[in-house]
Amino acid sequence: MSLFEHFSHLPKQCAYDAMFDYAYQKLKTFEAVHCIRKDIERQNVRMVGTSGIVTTLASIALELDRYRRSSIDGLCLGRQTLMHALHKLKKMSHSDMGRHPCIGRHRATLILSGCAIFDAIQSLWPVERIMIADRGLRDGMIVRMAREHRRSIGRARPAQRSHRASSHLPVGALAIPL
Q: What is the pLDDT of residues 10-38, one digit of tens each?
A: 999 999 999 999 999 999 999 999 999 99
Q: What is the pLDDT of residues 55-89, one digit of tens each?
A: 999 999 999 999 888 899 889 999 999 999 999 99
Note if the pTM is more than 0.85: no
Q: How far apart are the first and last CA of the chain?
A: 17
Sequential DSSP letters for 48-65: EEESTHHHHHHHHHTT-S
Q: Does domain 9-177 have CATH number 3.30.70?
A: no
Nearest CA to 123 out of 53, 14, 23 is that of 23
